[in-house]
Amino acid sequence: MVMLVNIASSIIATNQMNLMTTIYGEFNGDEFGVAMVSMDYNGDGYDDLIVMSKYWNATGVLGAYYPGKLYFYWGGPDGLGNTPGFVIEGQSHTQFAHWMCNAGDMNGDGIEDLAITYSTDLVQYGTYKSIAIFLGKSTPQSAPDYVCTIPYTHVIPTYLGDVNGDGKSDLAFMGWHLSHRYSYFTYVWTDLQSDPVLLLNSGVYTVPIYLGGVGDVNGDGFDDAYLASPYNLSTFWSELLFGNASMSLSDSLLLTQSFVDGFPLVSPLGDINSDGYADFIGYTVWPNHYIWFGSTVLDSIPDLTLSLNSSDHDMHSFGRADDGYAVHGDLNGDGYDDFVCSDPRANDYNGQAGLWLGGTNVNATVDLVFNPPIDWQWHNFGHAKAVGDFNGDGYDDLALSCPRWMDGGFHDTGRIYVFSGNAQLADTTVANDDPVAPPVSVEDWRINVYPNPCSRYETELKVDLLGSAYAKDGSYTYRIYNVRGQLLKQEAISITELRDGSFRVSLEHIPTGIYLITINNESQVLISKKVAIY
């Protein structure tokens, strides 16, 4: 219990997650836990934990030769043990880079598969030109089932989901070529029996292209993806690409055109408000970390902005982590997905993680904070993380790694802490702090827009504020977006208009098309409605 108090401290005293097990690396400097993935790899109904040791070698001493090693910890009724049930030792120099992901079910056999950056070069150091696919199966094997080699220096796999609706998961590769002025590329691999398709190539731009899956955000049966691509030599835009059977990826929603700082990140969140639409989190301009709720009328305005960790003097937020942005699952078994973010650099490389609980009225306040144990400070706690139901009790569990590395050759053995899901986890901030959802119901923020549909010969729209929750002296604005999510018009709603219960919107310079009008209180979207102009 003393160890539990040291490891997991909460800003809400009633929330805790008990320590299931601690898993240890083999020797100092092996970076055990530099990457982790959760999946039911052997298809027995229990989630398993796959851990990478980047600098492992057979001598057991950190040295210049490090092929790396994968450890497979099988889930079961008693949870994860601290002894692996299966291992794969690298056979060539730096065979395993620290990039891997749960690729989903790529071959359609009902078992999840593993994708990992892989080197087939026995001589050249630091080149990771291939993606290896290890198919999940009841009897695992050491050799990959598929190896796809790309004519670039480095390549990283990212999970896409089933963007073309063929019943099999798809994979994206992002990478770069050092000899070509850091040019970047993105491939999409939808069929293991065919070659991947080059989606984008940035040429000589020094900003990366990124493509990652976010789930089915609009409920059309196709998984969707987040794309960040170059706009010029120093900036790029990000957009939501909607999946379809043809894989054209031409239907999209622009999220931002002004990203200028750092690397774009995105992670699926499952369905944190349980409305049937997938939600996702995106990092756009530091230090802002935004959440979008899935919807049939999704727009570019985020629904939540994550709160920063005020105790982190380095000004990194929970959203930033070197290996994995956010992981999700139902940790309290209430039917809502929850999610965990972390920052291994927080508090002078002590590291820290945070849990946000899903619910009908999800908010941006962290519900449980995880800190490293007192005897294991400065070990990059939370560098990698994974969520899965390792003991099959119906509650997802959480694994957080401490791979431990510091500049100047200061190394220790890595550790992984696995915490059990808990039915008692509760969001006690909803009643008093709900920055997104209306205080009572959507009905209290109703609006009526007419004429709708509207002829292009009309000069204005009339908007009636029908809900009972509008404060007569509040601060409200309306915004109009086109179908790409671009903001076309924004104006304040005056006190007089609020008291009259209606206002008018000029249609000057707005062409025919489909638009979204939203009513906002500061950054909160209270209600939205589609408007057609013909």
DSSP codes joined into one string, 302-365: -SEEPPP-TT-TT---TT--SS-SEEEE-SSSSSS-EEEEEETTHHHHTBEEEEE---TT--SS
Confidence of residue 271 (pLDDT cuts 50, 70, 90): very high
Query: Could you report the per-residue pLDDT of 173-194, keeping only the tens digit for each?
Result: 877 665 544 556 777 888 888 8
Q: Is the pLDDT of residue 127 over 70?
A: no
pLDDT of residue 345: 78
What is the pLDDT at residue 430?
45
Residue 344 reports pLDDT greater than 60? yes
**Look-up of token digits 């902005």:** 305
Question: Once rounded to an integer, what is the mean pLDDT over residues 76-94?
Answer: 86
Q: Would you say residue 487 has pLDDT above 80?
A: no
Q: What is the pLDDT of residue 234?
A: 56
| 248 confidence band (pLDDT: 50, 70, 90) | confident
Q: Which residues share a beta bridge with 465?
A: 447
pLDDT(300) > 80 = yes
Query: 57: pLDDT confidence band, cut at 50, 70 and 90?
Result: confident
What confidence score (pLDDT) does residue 282 get? 80
Residue 83: what pLDDT? Answer: 94
pLDDT at position 428 is 61
Separation of alpha carbons 357 and 272, rounded Å: 8
pLDDT confidence band for 434 (50 / 70 / 90) = very low
Please compute the mean of the pLDDT values over residues 138-153 and round it to a whole number.
84
Average pLDDT score over the chain: 79
Percent of the chain with pLDDT over 90: 30
Q: What gap in Å lies between CA 19 and CA 35, rounded to an integer?
A: 20
Cα(505)–Cα(299) distance, rounded to whole angstroms?
19
Alpha carbon 191 to chain centroid, angstroms: 24
Instruction: Give the pLDDT confidence score for residue 2 in this predicted structure.
Output: 28
pLDDT at 310: 45
DSSP 378: T
Q: Say which residue, 328 or 196, is predicted with more confidence.
A: 328
Instruction: Residue count of the chain, please give it.
Output: 534
pLDDT value of residue 4: 32
| Most confident segment among 150-164, 264-278, 306-320 | 264-278
Higher-pLDDT residue of 200, 33: 33
With a CB cutoff of 8 Å and minimum separation 6, the contacts of 23 are: 33, 51, 73, 80, 82, 415, 416, 418
Q: Let me know: does 146 contact 133? Beta carbons within 8 Å.
A: yes
133 CB-contact burial (10 Å; exposed 0-12 / middle 13-18 / buried 19+)? buried
Q: What is the torsional sign of CA 438, 443, 444, 450?
A: positive
Residue 55, pLDDT above cutoff 50: yes
pLDDT, tens digit, for every residue of 396-405?
999 999 887 6
Does 347 have pLDDT greater than 70?
Answer: yes
Say which residue, 79 or 530, is predicted with more confidence: 79
Burial level of 285, CB count in 10 A (0-12/13-18/19+)? Answer: middle
pLDDT band at 483 (very low <50, low <70, confident <90, very high): low
Instruction: Output the pLDDT for position 446.
Output: 83
Residue 306 has pLDDT above 90, yes or no: no
- Which has more pLDDT, 392 or 472? 392
